[in-house]
Amino acid sequence: MARSLNDNKLVEPEKFGRFYLRELLNSGGMADIWLVSDERRKNYALRRLKKEFRFNFTARRRFTRGNEILASLSDCQNIVAYVEHGSDFLLMDYVEAENLKLLFARHDPVLTENVAQILIDMAAGLNDVHEGGYMHLDFKPENVLVSRNGAVRLIDFDMAQPLPEKPVKFAKNPGTPGYMAPEQLQRQGIDGRTDIFAFGVAAYELLTNKKPFPGESPGEILAAQLQPDGPIPLRELNRDVPPALEKVVLKCLEREPERRHPFTGVLLRELQNALYV
């Protein structure tokens, strides 16, 4: 219960179905995430479709499909735990965590204190997505939750697509330009190695606090990706990065998909070898 500033009376929190809306945790392009509680005061995270999209049937279909994909992956340790969903909401277990982008912005010490665990958990979560038969296609720091002890949970499967046996083209180009692979930006066929590239961008940022391919537009980002020298080696920006780890991350960022790690399982194994020799 909250108090009104005008009359000092107790004010009932806004309700959504059987849940009380306690705090707005994050607002994205299509949905808001709320901390909510039920009648027993058990906390959950509620992802709610924004009002302006409720009669946008394409957005609702994408939202619902993302919820169904999450439900199919909810037993995975590094993916946020699913509880239930409807046509305009997704209920998840609440974990005290923030997304990686916010932690980057304030140089939170949880990143430096847990960097090895975060990298491995991110790769393990992405591997779970692929093992479950999907590409994430929007892997980026905003979609990686990190708790105060460094545990990782992946979120937001609205853009996910079935993992193909060979690269496929899509009529619409899912993803966020700063984390798109060259084949995505050039509207070519994509497969699981596209997610591996996105992982490489996020890992590079985590380890150097810089983007490997800076640019303000998709064209500028693609031009940086196509430079023959590739990104600045990580150890030139952060001498604490082990050479073996630098090699793993730079392999993720290869321009040609054939030169990247072929599968997320291989990436995960190589990371473990580089970090826990």
Query: Taking the alpha carbons of 261, 133, 157, 36 in that order, is the dihedral positive or negative?
Result: negative
Chain position carrying tokens 């697509």: 161
In terms of Cβ atoms closer than 10 Å to its own Cβ (0-12, 13-18, 19+), residue 75 is exposed
Angstrom distance (rounded) from CA 2 to CA 165? 54
Active-site positions read: 138
> What are the structure tokens assigned to 180, written together?
């798109």
Cβ density class 133-160: b for 16+ within 10 Å, e for less? ebbbbbbbbbbbbbeeebbbbbbbbbbb
Q: How many CA atoms lie within 13 A of 153 on its CB side?
A: 24
Chain position carrying tokens 């700063």: 178
Which residue type is seen at 209?
N
